[in-house]
Amino acid sequence: MQERENQTGESAEEPRVRVMSEDEARDYQGVTIEERKDSGEQHVEEPHDRYGRADDLRGSGIRIHTFSTAGSMSWLTKAALVVGGAAVVAFLIFVAVPVLFVAAGIGVTAWLLLRFIRG
């Protein structure tokens, strides 16, 4: 970092600032300061989503992730989705369905016993 003297005579670090490339500017999600080449003035550019709309969820801590096509996902993401799906299916087969059958069996047994006792 370059150092320069401020008005009080103390040295202050000057941050390195550069203009973002078109790709960086398009992909950047934060607030930027745009310089208009014709007038030399600056204005603050509010963050927009990929459809050009202003980001209404700014500062809320909510991020929305979407999956466009399977071809754009990394192999690690695909593997995580497969493992997650397999875990859900295994839970349903080995836990949820047997618990439902046991609960139904207890219910039918209780109903038969009550009917026999009252009967």
* Tens-place pLDDT, residues 85-96: 999 999 999 999
Beta-bridge partners for 45: 32
- For residue 23 the two structure tokens come to 């790709």
Q: What is the mean pLDDT of the chain?
A: 76
Categorize the per-residue pLDDT at 1 as very low, low, confident or very high, splitting at 50, 70 and 90.
Answer: very low
CA angle 72, 74, 80 (to 5 degrees): 120
30/10: higher pLDDT: 30
- For residue 78 the two structure tokens come to 């695909």
Could you tell me the pTM of the whole model?
0.38
At 52-109, the pLDDT tens digits run 555 555 555 667 766 666 567 788 988 999 999 999 999 999 999 999 999 999 999 9
CA neighbor of 37 nearest in space, from 15, 19, 16: 19
Query: Hey, how many other C-beta atoms are within 10 angstroms of the C-beta on 77?
Result: 12
User: According to the model, what pLDDT value does residue 6 have?
Assistant: 52
How far does CA 96 lie from the centroid of its chain? 29
